Amino acid sequence: MSKTGKITVKDRDPVSSLQNFLKLLLEKGTVEAVLVQQRLPIQNAAVMPVLVTDPEKLEGADPLAPAFPLNGARMLSRLTRKPLDAPIAAVMRPCEIRAFFELVKLKQGSAENVVFIGVDCLGTYGNIDYQKIAASTAGAESTLTFHRSILSGKGTATGDADISPACKSCDHPVATNADIGIGLLGANIEESLLLISNTEKGARVLGGLGIEVEEGDQPLRQSAVDALVSERTAYRDKMFEATSEAVSDVQKLMGYLGNCVNCYNCRVACPVCYCRECVFTTDVFDHEPAQYLRWAKRKGALKMPTDTVFYHLTRLAHMSTACIGCGQCSNACPNAVPVAELFRTVSHGVQKAFGYLAGASLDDEPPLSVFGEKEFSEVTGGKD
């Protein structure tokens, strides 16, 4: 039931055309605020999510920048922890919307009164790489260069940097669960962007703005999406295989996690690591000094900080049913531990085992919040 319209791009600049579209939402009073990533009005032009209420303050908005400083689902959860009085628009990447859906199901946010605007995602760079790329050009120029390079078939690599492995392996580049999709795939974005309404809410918003949409197939778009998804899926499957092999016993897993210093940044950055207080930072792990010596004596040696593998396995037990593969865990790691590959690989298996796909819909119940009398009888040796 999705319908498609378009935004005409002026001066070959899709970014400012998008800004105008968002401006319209505020000017017409469709929404009270827009949450969108913006190039901040500061020297190094960092890109961060910004909550904008004044249409004049949208000039830095750049939803197409291949920047992903953090997963915005967490920010939206801060805004919607209590019911919103008036609607807001959230311009997000597909994985941000999917993460947010998981948070809604965990009662850490509400999708009511939010108009989700999901932008096709062609990938993002790690924070440090992006900072270098953005510093070398002024304003949104680096964004346009990135998209031109992809459009002309030159790919995503810039100098010695490339988009993150999480993005390369992401099989959900299109936000099919957004109210309104901004389509880049299958469009010549220097001429026009596609506007896709996926829900009734989306159709209402576009109708209110006087934007015409119509039903009908989009063969060009469909084939562009299919091609990207199959490229990503191929990368993903190789990554699954390599990662599974790299951690196939505890000795190897220790090698994989060897540079971890238990800073817990990966957990802070993870949008779906849901505990308000992490047990690993409570006094459960504030061990008695003498305890360390007892442990050391038992095995003869004790690596410090302790419980690194324990931490990562416990985190997996918590978030593997909800991981949407955004890669922010790796992005946040100061020691380049490839945690995103590991978490995505395991989560994929876990979600398959429960017949669940994180972030796909608000209706599917998270696997560990439901249970049935007759199920998984293999766990108890065939007895239910």
Partner 1 sequence: MADYEPTIIAFVCNWCTYTAADLAGTSRLVQPPNLRMVRMMCTGMIDPKYIIKALLEGADAVLVSGCHPGDCHYINGNLKARRRMKLLKEILPRFGFDERRLKMTWIGASEGIDFAETARQMTAEIKELGRNDLRTRMVL
Q: How far apart are CA 89 and CA 105, in angstroms?
A: 20
User: Among 50, 167, 260, 272, which residue sits at the site for partner 1 (rule: CB under 8 A)?
Assistant: 260
Quickly list DSSP for 49-83. Answer: EEEE-SGGGGTTB-TTSS--SS-THHHHHHHHSS-
Report, in Å, the least distance between residue 262 CB and ligand SF4. Answer: 5
Binding segment (CB under 6 A) for ligand SF4, from list 16-24, 120-128, 281-289, 326-334: 326-334
Distances (CA, A) of 95 to 204, 303, 358, 368: 24, 36, 10, 21
The contact pattern for ligand SF4, residues 241-260, with x = CB under 6 A and - = no contact, is -------------------x
Window 155 to 174, contacts with ligand SF4 (CB under 6 A):
166
Contact between 368 and partner 1 (CB under 8 A)?
A: yes
How many other C-beta atoms are found inside a 10 Å radius of the C-beta of residue 108? Answer: 19
User: Among 257, 269, 329, 358, which residue sits at the site for partner 1 (rule: CB under 8 A)?
Assistant: 257
User: Among 235, 240, 264, 295, which residue sits at the site for ligand SF4 (rule: CB under 6 A)?
Assistant: 264
Window 34 to 73, contacts with partner 1 (CB under 8 A):
none
Binding segment (CB under 8 A) for partner 1, from list 1-9, 36-44, 323-331, 349-357: 349-357
Which partner, partner 1, ligand SF4, none, binds residue 7 by CB below 5 to 8 Å per kind?
Answer: none
Which partner, partner 1, ligand SF4, none, binds residue 41 by CB below 5 to 8 Å per kind?
Answer: none
Report, in Å, the least distance between residue 110 CB and partner 1. Answer: 26
Which partner, partner 1, ligand SF4, none, binds residue 319 by CB below 5 to 8 Å per kind?
Answer: ligand SF4
Window 226 to 245, contacts with partner 1 (CB under 8 A):
244
Give the burial string for 63-80 (b: 16+ CB within 10 Å, else e).
Answer: bbbbbbbbbbbbbbbebb
Copy the structure tokens of residue 68: 């992903």
Give me the torsion for CA of 31, 32, 37, 41, rounded to 10°: 140
Copy the structure tokens of residue 374: 């007759």
Q: How far apart are CA 52 and CA 141, in angstroms?
A: 22
Q: How far apart are CA 313 and CA 311, in angstroms?
A: 6
Contact between 82 and partner 1 (CB under 8 A)?
A: no
Report, in Å, the least distance between residue 337 CB and ligand SF4. Answer: 4
SS3 of 24-52:
HHHHCCCCCEEEEEEECCCCCCCEEEEEE
Q: Return all residues near 338 (Cβ < 8 A) that are at least 6 apart.
A: 165, 243, 256, 330
Binding site for ligand SF4 (CB under 6 A): 166, 260-266, 269-272, 319, 323-329, 332-335, 337, 339-340, 343-344
Binding site for partner 1 (CB under 8 A): 244, 247-250, 252-254, 257-258, 260, 279, 299-303, 308-310, 313-314, 316-317, 320-321, 346, 349-350, 353-354, 367-368, 371-376, 379-381, 383-384
